């Protein structure tokens, strides 16, 4: 069981280039998320999805796009990369644990993708 797999692990981009960070999960989770973590900071939510065909903006969506054509995959697209997008990107997925009184999503994170924009 691979869990949440992110590729690539490392990437260097030049300003203005574009790229896609891939994320796939094999746990049949409905919910998927993209976070970024800047040095010495907590994670911030970029985009999330509650199911195939449904996406929504998080706290810091500018400069990014996502799609969710399948349950398994949730790619994050960077258009016109900028130095401010230098960060570590984490993909996560979750399911609704109905064992909790009001339900609770238990998140599984990928190992992260470190992106540098020069």
Partner 1 sequence: KQEVTQIPAALSVPEGENLVLNCSFTDSAIYNLQWFRQDPGKGLTSLLLIQSSQREQTSGRLNASLDKSSGRSTLYIAASQPGDSATYLCAVNLEGGGSEKLVFGKGTKLTVNP
Question: Residue 43 interacts with partner 1 (CB under 8 A)?
Answer: yes
Task: Name the one residue in this structure whose structure tokens are 């398994």.
Answer: 72
Tokens of 63: 């400069």
Question: Residue 27 interacts with partner 1 (CB under 8 A)?
Answer: no
Choose the stretch contacting partner 1; rule: CB under 8 A; options: 16-24, 42-50, 64-72, 75-83: 42-50
Question: Residue 33 interacts with partner 1 (CB under 8 A)?
Answer: yes
Q: Cis omega (within 30 of 0) on the bond before 94?
A: no
Distance (Å, whole) CA 68 – CA 89: 17
Question: Residue 104 interacts with partner 1 (CB under 8 A)?
Answer: yes
In the bound state with partner 1, the residue whose beta carbon lies nearer, of 14 and 102, is 102
Question: Residue 4 interacts with partner 1 (CB under 8 A)?
Answer: yes
Query: Would you say 27 and 3 are in contact if contact means Cβ atoms under 8 Å apart?
Result: yes
């Amino acid at each position: 069981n691979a869990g949440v797999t992110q590729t690539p692990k490392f990437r260097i981009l030049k300003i203005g280039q574009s790229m896609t960070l891939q994320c796939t999960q094999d746990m049949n989770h409905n919910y998927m998320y993209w976070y970024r973590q800047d040095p010495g900071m907590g994670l911030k939510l970029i985009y999330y999805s509650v199911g195939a065909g449904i996406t929504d903006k998080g706290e810091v969506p500018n400069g990014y796009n996502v799609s969710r054509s399948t349950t398994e995959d949730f790619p994050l697209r960077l258009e016109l990369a900028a130095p401010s997008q230098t960060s570590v990107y984490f993909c996560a997925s979750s399911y609704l644990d109905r064992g909790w009184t009001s339900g609770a999503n238990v998140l599984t994170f990928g190992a992260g993708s470190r992106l540098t924009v020069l």
